[in-house]
Structure 1
Amino acid sequence: MSTAAELDADLVSYQDHSELTGPFDIVGDVHGCIEELTELLSRLGYQVHDDLTITPPEDRKLIFVGDLADRGPGIPQVFRLVSTAVAEGKAFCVAGNHDTRLAIALRGTPLPLTYGLADSLEQFAEHPPEFAREMAVFIRRLPGHLIFDHCHLLVAHAGLRESLHRVETMQARELAIHGEKTGVRDQFGEIRHPWAAEYGGKPLIVFGHTPVENPVILNNTINVDTGCVFGGRLTALRYPEREFVSVSARRQYYEPTRPFLPNDPRWPKT
């Protein structure tokens, strides 16, 4: 894959795996919820071994929508499971905004210890420094979006408008990871742009980033972030079956900064 001049050598906007048609299990934002992740994988038919390697069922592969980091109790363990599965060709993962911020901090750049970053750094400090360096590289090399099934399926952490699909620029990467800004704020902070309500593209886009009460299907997009770390559930979408499998959070690990979106994502105040 060629890399545009706007991108550093080890950053990519997207990876094209159009030849892979599935079946896939697409997992929402994990945020360090290792017990819920292992339970979900077991319910999906994966064997999770003591060393956090996995054995998939029926030639299925996992896809993670990003935000493995921050807030939950098992952040290094989640990274070990996912990075190993990716290295073994059993899973794919896109970068989430929390992940990219963690990678910067793990490389030694001081950042405000907000939005759960303190939890990640405290937990990584209990592991050898080499592991932190390896995970910083792993995160940095994650793509902004992934394409599968002859361009019928696209996975991006925060979603992505169609004009930036398969575009190798820093803008495409950043919008896939962080989402589009509105500049409008309410009492909870900046309101995220409701891009899915405007989407009219052909690829099904599966994303996370914004917690919802239940998975939301809108305009050929599916939001699978059901807020596990906030006391909700961890959800996977089975593709191409379009079936949802969820497990409940053991407890609320972190107080949400704003209420979950209602099931209508066009709600004007979110």
Structure 2
Amino acid sequence: MNGRIIAIGDIHGCHQEFAELLELLKPTKDDRLILVGDLVNRGPDSCKVIDLARQHRAISLLGNHELRLLNYRKNKTPAAEIDRKTDADTFQKLRPEDWLYLESMPLTHYVEALNTVFAHGGFLPNEPWQRQPASIVTRIQSIDADGRACKRSDSPDSPPWADLWNGPPFVIYGHTPRPDVYKLKWSVGIDTACVMGGHLTAYILPEKRFVQVKSRRRYYP
């Protein structure tokens, strides 16, 4: 495998932090840039994030925020009827080429040489990861007492899915914002809450190194 694999956590419209991180990383044509979803919403400029992703030939994975915007569009929901303000703002600003970019996002990306899969949210344990639907892969945070995927806020005492995941494969994911990287034997969570005033995190393979930039400010909520 030539070059590095560079995974970057949830950007959420934070284009300045994304640009700063890319400047530190200096990706070459041999490197593979993988953005683990939620490029858009909440932060200052989703369109500029998509422009940078396209410019650097990133593999951008489908996150729950992209999925929600695509569903509004598919269902022909008027912007005025979108109840989340940040969704409505992004919905109105996205250009035709941005919608095409969102529609082209794969759900997962698997690197066989490293037996590693990249996804936005994660997976239910004890089920083949390849067969799990977008509703799970983009949204899962925890596992409730009945073994079902749930949001952390809906079941605060339930364990994170990653605590119950015994690979292979190794999973690199975002979606669940934390103050620090969440590194376990079989997974690493790299959403370090940039849009909430935290950091934007990159994880570089095969060297297993983290690079971070501090958020310029808290953009959300």
TMscore range, shorter length: 0.7 to 0.9
1:197 aligned to 2:167? no
AA at the equivalent of 2:166: G
Other-structure match for 2:53: 82
Task: Indicate conservation of the 8 Å contact 2:139/2:151, yes or no.
Answer: no
Q: CA deviation at 1:151?
A: 5.7
Q: CA deviation at 1:93?
A: 1.5
Other-structure match for 1:240: 206
Task: Indicate conservation of the 8 Å contact 2:2/2:31, yes or no.
Answer: no
1:164 aligned to 2:125? no
Report SS of the residue matched to 2:183.
Answer: strand
Task: Indicate conservation of the 8 Å contact 1:28/1:235, yes or no.
Answer: yes
AA at the equivalent of 2:31: R
Other-structure match for 1:101: 68
Other-structure match for 2:17: 36
Report SS of the residue matched to 1:116.
Answer: helix
Other-structure match for 2:108: 145
| Superimposed CA distance per residue, residues 141-162 of structure 1 (whole angstroms, 9 cap, x where no aligned partner) | 2121110133611000001245
Evaluate the alpha carbon distance shift between residue 185 and residue 71 of structure 1 in structure 2; reply closer, same or farther with a 3 A threshold: closer
Gaps of 5+ in 2: none
Evaluate the alpha carbon distance shift between residue 122 and residue 73 of structure 1 in structure 2; reply closer, same or farther with a 3 A threshold: farther
| Superimposed CA distance per residue, residues 8-45 of structure 1 (whole angstroms, 9 cap, x where no aligned partner) | xxxxxxxxxxxx67521100000000000000000011
Match of 1:179 among 140, 148, 159: 140
| Superimposed CA distance per residue, residues 80-112 of structure 1 (whole angstroms, 9 cap, x where no aligned partner) | 222343xxxx32121000011122334532453
Other-structure match for 2:186: 220
Distance 2:213 2:13 in 1: 15
Q: CA deviation at 1:227?
A: 0.2
AA at the equivalent of 2:194: C
Moved more, 199-208 or 176-185: 176-185
Return the TM-score normalized by structure 1. 0.70
AA at the equivalent of 2:90: S
Task: Indicate conservation of the 8 Å contact 2:19/2:52, yes or no.
Answer: no
Distance 2:182 2:22 in 1: 21
1:113 aligned to 2:89? no
RMSD: 2.5
Task: Indicate conservation of the 8 Å contact 2:140/2:151, yes or no.
Answer: no
AA at the equivalent of 2:192: T
Distance 1:185 1:29 in 2: 17
1:23 aligned to 2:34? no
Distance 2:160 2:69 in 1: 26
Evaluate the alpha carbon distance shift between residue 176 and residue 233 of structure 1 in structure 2; reply closer, same or farther with a 3 A threshold: same
Percentage of identical aligned residues: 32
Mapping 1:26-65, distance limit 5 Å: 26-45=7-26, 56-57=27-28, 59-65=30-36
Return the TM-score normalized by structure 2. 0.84
Distance 2:21 2:151 in 1: 35
Q: CA deviation at 1:116?
A: 2.4
Other-structure match for 1:268: none
Task: Indicate conservation of the 8 Å contact 1:199/1:219, yes or no.
Answer: no
Distance 1:102 1:165 in 2: 24
AA at the equivalent of 2:91: L
Distance 2:101 2:159 in 1: 29
1:134 aligned to 2:97? yes
| Superimposed CA distance per residue, residues 133-188 of structure 1 (whole angstroms, 9 cap, x where no aligned partner) | 33223212212111013361100000124523233xxx4332111216748788x5
Distance 1:58 1:106 in 2: 34
